[in-house]
Amino acid sequence: MNTTNPQLNKHGELQHLLTIEGLPRDVITRILDTAAPFTELVHQEEKKLPLLRGKSVFNLFFENSTRTRTTFEIAAKRLSADVINLNINTSSTAKGETLLDTVDNLAAMQADMFVVRHASSGAPFLIAQHLAATKQDHIRVVNAGDGRHAHPTQGLLDMYTIRHYKKDFTKLTVAIVGDILHSRVARSQIHALSTLGVPEIRAIAPKTLIPTAAERMGVKVFHDMREGLKGVDVVMMLRLQNERMLGALLPSPQEYFKNYGLTPEKLALAKPDAIVMHPGPMNRGVEIDSAVADGGQAVILPQVTFGIAVRMAVMSMLAGN
Ligand code: CP
């Protein structure tokens, strides 16, 4: 493990993917470039590549997921890996087995890669550290979302989507709207956007849903959504993370929608060719109006499709290809 950046080995190659924070620009760009040809695979007769043939990828999802878990599985299968989805509810975790004991047991089954989602921030890092300490660091760890800390593959697929539609990061104004305080996605997006050279990143949220340190992350904070959306190229919406809120931080979902819900009228303040993104799951009528979610500027479903290629790229690079 590289002590300054535990995700990279001493040659600067990706060893694990735990967070976008501190990931060099050239590594992010390499992941996006590697993903590009994988998007074409679906149009070919042979949709599988042998890049992970003989490898076992374990999906360890200790929190619910639709998009991330499924697209990791598709991505690993397209790379010819064997995929094992651990059902946490029926696993020995439910009998009190610790996370690291579970990891050791799966490592003993000759795992090559763990894709980990966990409600606790830092859980994938803890696993990577444990694998290094027990001399099992040939096993790769991918963070599929940990607490409110990071969701690196979501951040990367979002960057892929922006690059696909807007080409040049250095000319963009990007707004991230909603529950930034509890959002691992927002943190990964902000780190990726700033590393890729986006000159203006705006964070639009009520005062109760923005971290006090937001401005230190290099974003411009807006509490008035209409002000914040003026002239932006990209609108990235976020879900209210009710499961992570301690107590009531908002008067009501109706009030929230009135002030921070993306409607066609508010979207009209952005550039006419602005794209609308959402990591999912969406709450229609809470943070986004159906007319926008299903409208011509939304690229929400392409984000999901690009997620397969980006996850293929990450797994392929981790496997040393
Ligand atoms: N964007 C995202 O992480 O969605 P899931 O929770 O469905 O994986």
Q: Is 67 in the pocket of ligand 1 (CB under 6 A)?
A: yes
Tell the residue nearest (CA) to atom 5 of ligand 1. 65
Which pLDDT does position 239 carry in this prediction?
94
Which pLDDT does position 154 carry in this prediction?
98
Contact 274, 233 (CB under 8 A): yes
Identify the burial level of 216 via C-beta atoms within 10 angstroms of its C-beta, where 0-12 means exposed, 13-18 middle and 19 or more buried.
Answer: exposed
Cα 95 to Cα 310: distance, rounded to the nearest angstrom: 35
Q: Is 228 in the pocket of ligand 1 (CB under 6 A)?
A: no
Portion of the chain with pLDDT greater than 90, in percent: 83
* CATH number, span 25-151+305-318: 3.40.50.1370
Which pLDDT does position 300 carry in this prediction?
98
Match 């929230």 to its residue by tokens.
256
Instruction: Return the CATH architecture of domain 152-303.
Output: 3-Layer(aba) Sandwich (3.40)
Mean pLDDT (whole number) for 275-292: 97
Cα 281 to Cα 288: distance, rounded to the nearest angstrom: 11
Contact 201, 190 (CB under 8 A): yes
Portion of the chain with pLDDT greater than 70, in percent: 97
pLDDT at 45 over 70: yes
Which pLDDT does position 2 carry in this prediction?
61
Domain positions in the chain are: 25-151+305-318, 152-303
pLDDT at 248 over 80: no
Which pLDDT does position 122 carry in this prediction?
97
Mean pLDDT (whole number) for 304-320: 97
Domains 25-151+305-318 and 152-303 share a fold: yes
Tell the residue nearest (CA) to atom 6 of ligand 1. 65
Predicted structure pTM score: 0.95
CA angle 88, 189, 43 (to 5 degrees): 75
pLDDT at 245 over 90: no
- Residue-wise pLDDT for 206-228, tens only, equals 999 999 888 888 999 999 999 99
Cα 12 to Cα 37: distance, rounded to the nearest angstrom: 23
- Residue-wise pLDDT for 88-119, tens only, equals 888 888 788 999 999 999 999 999 999 999 99
Mean pLDDT (whole number) for 62-69: 96
Mean pLDDT (whole number) for 124-145: 96
pLDDT at 22 over 80: yes
User: How high is the mean pLDDT of the chain?
Assistant: 94
Mean pLDDT (whole number) for 231-248: 84
Contact 202, 172 (CB under 8 A): no
Element housing 86 (H / E): strand 82-86
Q: Which atom of ligand 1 is nearest to the CA of 64?
A: 6
